[in-house]
Chain A
Amino acid sequence: GENVEQHPSTLSVQEGDSAVIKCTYSDSASNYFPWYKQELGKRPQLIIDIRSNVGEKKDQRIAVTLNKTAKHFSLHITETQPEDSAVYFCAASRMEYGNKLVFGAGTILRVKS
């Protein structure tokens, strides 16, 4: 079945440094790759997504890159701030007919000030 692997499981960075989280997916038909941020005790919220027809997307301090050939995509957060501390989940899906999101296991990001 479909599978999404996410690394690392935990990541500690100093405030102002960059953070990179990587995901690999198994279903080659996947064409939609969102990233969700979950703060403690709260619901996951979409922070950025990318579709398979583009290789990179940026939104202020966050960016996502996609390599369809290698079937992996990454989240990059620059100039990290303490409020970036949270659990980040990657996911993969086929967009047609609202297909299910398959999530990675999550990365706990800690930004030390």
Chain B
Amino acid sequence: AQSVAQPEDQVNVAEGNPLTVKCTYSVSGNPYLFWYVQYPNRGLQFLLKYITGDNLVKGSYGFEAEFNKSQTSFHLKKPSALVSDSALYFCAVSLNSGYSTLTFGKGTMLLVSP
């Protein structure tokens, strides 16, 4: 079975400071890893994904994530946070085979203060 852990329910950061939202995963095989963002009363929006290759993945809105196989982590990062980044962030994992389903973490609320 595959699973995702997002250990922080909420992350608080001041605007202009770097941010990190943590994610660890468990899967029996090579993973595909994703980050999605959800704004209030909206569906999820895709931010970035890791499939293979370079461990540092760059995505939308200046976000990036680093795949670390030894630590089974895929933390989301941004060098300089914006107030508009405040939202609910979900990490997700699937197995790199066929119709493997996507398993989501419980989400981390990011609050960026002015």
Q: Do A and B bind each other?
A: no
